[in-house]
Structure 1
Amino acid sequence: MSAENSATGAGTGTAPLTPLHCPRHAEAGPPRLSALPTGTPVWLVSRHADVRQVLTDPRLGRAPLYAPDAPPLTNAPNLLDDPNSMLNIDGTEHQRLRRTVQRAFTPRAIARWRPWVASVIEGLIDELIDHGNPADIVAGYTRPLPVAVISRLMGLDNLDSKRLAHWSDHALSTTAYSAEAIVTAMGEFAEFGSAVIAERRADPGEDLVSSLLAAAAEDGSITEGQLVTLVIGLVVAGHETTMTSLGNALVYLLGDGRDAWQRLAADEASAAAATEQLLRAVPLGDTDYFPGLLRRTVEEVEIGGVVIPAGSVVAADTNAANMDPEVFTGDLLTELFSPLVAPMYTFGAGPHHCLGAWLARMELELALHRLARRLPALRLTEPAGSIDWRRGLLTRSPNSLQVAW
């Protein structure tokens, strides 16, 4: 997945934050040496071509980040820190694990879900309209949509959304919770994953968890711990990116980008083009804690004209790469419906490219198109500067967003 102050509570607070549609990000330039909050030296890579090299060059990997000699990356654990998870394994073992899930996330597989996702979206908009003005579009739309989709995909129709939000926030915490609270929540989440696996073994179905178990049984080398991590990881990743991206996109579209709302309503093709640009230009989170997607060199490697020693931690700043002025020369206001001139790295690249990228794209384009079509007068009822943001997590999006129409 794409990956930042002492905070209390559930990642909320009162300090003002820069709205995400005008984010802080590094200026694209040559690799430079900085440090993580732990004090570990890190090479910051920000140019488009350099970020692609970091994410695709086999001389940089995820597994070396968790080798015995690896320096500390975090001050508190989170879901990304399991050295046995698919995210942190490279090479043939990673490819084998990835094959157990990737068939469910191909463009062809995702297309079969499109009519059902559209029906969920229409139902949520009906409920918003029935609720009347004003409404919290996070509680009524951006959060329940991806939760409903991943719950259906994984056969978790009775999933408690409040428990899921609790587990997800702890799983992606940077500074929002104590290490003890995170460990406790992750233990509960793992117990949930184990229970789901046991249920599917006893009564398999057509869901993704049953498919995972069948593939694992055929493979024979995937451990029980890896299966549990896969299941809970898919639950989090399957809704978090879409919820974050959709909420952040609405902040932009109902504010600075308000003139585009009518065109979004016109057709799905316009919404699909806008989705790509929004995913590129409106980031999922800050780079305050993790300055990018982390890798570690297994040998000396030259990136962007700079020689980086073996054993170095490298951060690929996808936010900066997605805004590299040498590649993306247009403004989001004028380029919102234009095709991308180069790949964007919101979903990463290379072997660890996000499996759920096509699912997130489909949900976002349908959600934006149908909402703009049904509620052409939708507007924010508060200025962007007063929005209550989730914080202290790897991702950042509104806790609530009051709208009217």
Structure 2
Amino acid sequence: MSQPPTHDFPFPPGPLAEPPEQYAELGAGCPVSRVRLPSGDQAWYVTGYDEVQAALSDGRLSRAALREPGAPRVVTGPDFSDNPYNLLNQEGPDHKRLRRLISPAFTPRRAAALRGTVQRIADELIDDLVAAGPAGDLHRDYAAVLPVHVICALIDAPREDRPKIQLWTDRLVSITAHTPEERLSAREESAAYVAALIGQRRADPGDDLLSELIKAHDEGDRLTGQELVWLGINLLVAGHDTTVGAISRGLFALLRHPEQYRLLAKAPDDRGLLGHAVDELLRYAPPSDFGFIRVATEDLTIGGVDVAAGEGVIPAMHAAGRDSRHVTDPDILDLTRGDANHLAFGHGAHYCPGAGVARLELEIAFGSLARRLPELRLAVPEDQVRWIGGLLTLRPEVLPAEW
């Protein structure tokens, strides 16, 4: 236990936005290994499918314990792990209560009702791409825009606020790309923004999720004022950031494998194929190569490795999709495969409550492009696409394409 770590975290992305090269090494011989974090603290990094699933479902690994004195930290200075009102950082009864309050927004029925809105947004963005010329930036003008517009529609936030919402999100989910001061500023500015939205919606309620949460606070006393603000921030940030990464990275994977994109282009309205495609792209090209750190509240064992109480554990749920024990030929992209096993939405108590809406967005994002732009292709050699590091999600600086 006192031996120095063998790897520095975070790992750089692999060539062509493939998973970090360390994943293959760790997955083959050491699915639970020691890492040194940017803060200087150490943690256990979990990469195997079975081991990640076990860690995510183990109640002895706690996000709330990150606020205890001496708990390991990923970065120095303030970050979103410090906030006790953040849904991601809660455990037990409070976590269950808050999930129950937001669950009506993410039912299959609500997701289905949202389909028309998402489709309209996607069509408008593709119209703008086509009007601008036979080439464009798929990240800036499509992947980075669609999820923000969807979440703005979900909570009835002005679409013109998208740029500052994106800026705050980049800083809040920063690992090494932004300073502690920038992260703190983003936290304060986004909290003030959501508080102002709450004031507007309280005066003029609507048929949106934020209005429903305000009602839970004002009428049922089931939500504190701080919880109300931070649920709004959770929706703004978690509600779109990972989807941006999933669309950008998924599109790059499809355009690197044109025969797979052509499968979609031949049947862009086949929801069965689109469902398989979404799972395969989440497995093969997940939005992030990181994982959220947890703290062991008592001694436990993961994958045959003993973890002591107080130590940090990072289940890399996005690494699990390349585990050959669960996926045949995991380094091959195949939209028709039947074993696209992944943990991109998590597992256990913290399973993503918005998974159904995210799947809907991804189906429409990929299917709409395949229908409207069947000849879509990269406009530069694939190795010239540069990727931004230091953020929770992986995204390109530019994703140039032509059609």
Q: Provide TM-score, normalisation by structure 2.
A: 0.90
Match of 1:63 in 2: 64
Q: Among 345, 361, 379, which residue is 1:381 paired with?
A: 379
Seq. identity, %:
38
The alpha-carbon distance between structure 1 residues 16 and 347, as it changes in their structure 2 partners (threshold 3 A), is closer
Match of 2:292 in 1: 293
What is the CA-CA distance between 1:218 and the residue it aligns to?
4.4
Match of 1:77 in 2: 78
**What is the alpha-carbon distance in structure 2 between the residues aligned to residue 197 and residue 147 of structure 1?**
18
Please show how residues 161-310 of structure 1 align to structure 2 within 5 Å. Answer: 161-255=162-256, 257-265=257-265, 266=267, 267-287=270-290, 292-310=291-309
Gaps of 5+ in 2: 1-8
What is the CA-CA distance between 1:79 and the residue it aligns to?
3.2
Please show how residues 128-147 of structure 1 align to structure 2 within 5 Å. Answer: 128-147=129-148
| Deviation digits for residues 266-296 of structure 1 (CA, Å, limit 9, x no counterpart) | 0232122111011112132344xxxx33111
* Contact 2:140–2:398, Cα closer than 8 Å, also in 1: yes
**What is the alpha-carbon distance in structure 2 between the residues aligned to residue 375 and residue 363 of structure 1?**
18
**What is the alpha-carbon distance in structure 1 between the residues aligned to residue 294 and residue 393 of structure 2?**
19
**What is the alpha-carbon distance in structure 2 between the residues aligned to residue 329 and residue 137 of structure 1?**
31
Q: Which amino acid aligns with 1:391?
A: G
**What is the alpha-carbon distance in structure 2 between the residues aligned to residue 262 and residue 153 of structure 1?**
32
**What is the alpha-carbon distance in structure 1 between the residues aligned to residue 96 and residue 160 of structure 2?**
30
What is the CA-CA distance between 1:67 and the residue it aligns to?
1.5
Tell me the matched-pair count.
Answer: 388
What is the CA-CA distance between 1:92 and the residue it aligns to?
0.8
Match of 1:359 in 2: 357
**What is the alpha-carbon distance in structure 1 between the residues aligned to residue 336 and residue 95 of structure 2?**
36
The alpha-carbon distance between structure 1 residues 94 and 16, as it changes in their structure 2 partners (threshold 3 A), is closer
Gaps of 5+ in 1: 6-14
**What is the alpha-carbon distance in structure 2 between the residues aligned to residue 221 and residue 115 of structure 1?**
32
**What is the alpha-carbon distance in structure 2 between the residues aligned to residue 184 and residue 293 of structure 1?**
22
* Contact 1:76–1:179, Cα closer than 8 Å, also in 2: yes
RMSD: 2.2
Please show how residues 37-52 of structure 1 align to structure 2 within 5 Å. Answer: 37-52=38-53
* Contact 2:66–2:82, Cα closer than 8 Å, also in 1: no
**What is the alpha-carbon distance in structure 2 between the residues aligned to residue 172 and residue 4 of structure 1?**
13
**What is the alpha-carbon distance in structure 2 between the residues aligned to residue 299 and residue 16 of structure 1?**
33
* Contact 1:4–1:395, Cα closer than 8 Å, also in 2: no
For residue 21 of structure 2, give the secondary structure of its aligned residue in structure 1: coil
* Contact 2:279–2:340, Cα closer than 8 Å, also in 1: no
Q: Which amino acid aligns with 2:129?
A: L
The alpha-carbon distance between structure 1 residues 91 and 16, as it changes in their structure 2 partners (threshold 3 A), is closer
* Contact 2:19–2:319, Cα closer than 8 Å, also in 1: no
For residue 283 of structure 2, give the secondary structure of its aligned residue in structure 1: helix
What is the CA-CA distance between 1:219 and the residue it aligns to?
4.4
| Deviation digits for residues 181-235 of structure 1 (CA, Å, limit 9, x no counterpart) | 2222221111101101111111111111001111233442532222111111211
Q: Which amino acid aligns with 2:364?
A: L
The alpha-carbon distance between structure 1 residues 40 and 280, as it changes in their structure 2 partners (threshold 3 A), is same
Match of 2:91 in 1: 90
